[in-house]
Chains A and B, each alone.
Chain A
């Protein structure tokens, strides 16, 4: 959870991992209307993401698979 520099941009989060299987997109275009996103569902793997966050006075970047804490 590294601290992030503050700028004027409005940073947002992104889902990660979905493009790993297909580095050359022109060779493997998804059909029209077909989604490559893995949707969240019970019993399935939680879609991983990386996103900016505010935490105890600091602006940080958090990654679900890396910074996750358990109860």
Chain B
């Protein structure tokens, strides 16, 4: 896991020491990456040229280096970490079953998965209902 912002490594150091370490017991355990020129933000589609900042974006990258999910929001609304963790569990399950199982909308760990195939077509209602 790593975080990226347009702040310098110096700013990251002070932010971590003076504020973030007071919000969590262990401080920030992952590398805080500096993208002052916005080079990373541009290719990830989150760099705001007008304001010179990276807007909020979250990317889930699998062990093969493939992006499985992304979530980008405008500044006033924050993301929810529980949703990110749910998606990580779901993508891990799909990967473990080599795509034999899929996670329907609202899936949580422990809940039934879907087994895509001819038998499931038109019969999703039998194994999954919206909440």
Contact = CB atoms under 8 A, between A and B. Distances in A.
Interface residues of B, number: 35
Interface in A45-71: 45-49, 51-57, 59-60, 62, 64-65, 67-71
Q: Is the interface of B mostly helix, strand, loop or mixed?
A: mixed
Contacts of A41: 67
B40 interface: yes
Contact of B61 (A60, A62, A68): A68
A65 B65 contact: yes
Contacts of A10: 8, 10, 34, 36
Contacts of A13: 4, 33-37, 39-40
A14 B38 CA distance: 9
A40 B39 contact: no
B33 A53 contact: yes
Interface in B30-82: 30-37, 39-40, 42-45, 59, 61, 63, 65-70
A56 B29 contact: yes
A62 B84 CA distance: 23
Contacts of A45: 65-67
A54 to B, nearest CB: 4
A44 B43 CA distance: 12
B55 to A, nearest CB: 14
Interface in B1-31: 1-2, 4, 8-10, 12-13, 16, 27, 29-31
B67 A51 contact: no
A14 B35 CA distance: 8
B88 interface: yes
11 contacts: A11-B34, A13-B34, A15-B40, A39-B43, A39-B44, A42-B69, A44-B66, A53-B31, A54-B32, A57-B13, A70-B63
